[in-house]
Structure 1
Amino acid sequence: MSDSSGRVTRTVQWATERVETVRERVPFVTRAVRQLGAVRLLDSSTRLAAQAFLTAIPMLFVVAAFAPSAVRQQLLDSSRTAMGLSGASLDQVKQVYAADDTGTRDTSGVVGVLVTLLSATACSRALQRVCERSWDLPPAGLRLVAWRWLAWLGVWTTAILAQGVLRDGFGAGAWLGLVLSYLTSVLLWWWTQHLLLGSRVAWLPLLPGALLTGAGVVTLSWASHLYMPRVLNRSLAQFGPFGLVFTLLSWLIVLFTVVCVGISVGHVVARERPVARLLRTPEAG
Structure 2
Amino acid sequence: MTKKFETRIDRRFVALKAEGRAGLVTFVTAGDPDLATSKTILAGLPKAGADLIELGMPFSDPMADGPAIQASSLRALRAGHTMRNTLDMVREFRKSDNETPIVLMGYYNPIYVYPAEKFLDDAAAAGVDGLIVVDVPPEADDELCLPAVERGLNFVRLATPTTDDKRLKTVLKNTSGFLYYVSITGITGSGSADPADVQLQVARLKRATTLPVAVGFGVRTPEQARAIAEGADAVVVGSALVRSIEDSLAQDGRATGNTAASVLSLVEGLSAALRA
User: More strand per residue: 1 or 2?
Assistant: 2
- Smaller-chain TM-score bracket: 0.3 to 0.5
TM (normalized to structure 1)? 0.33
| Higher Cα radius of gyration | 1
User: More helix per residue: 1 or 2?
Assistant: 1
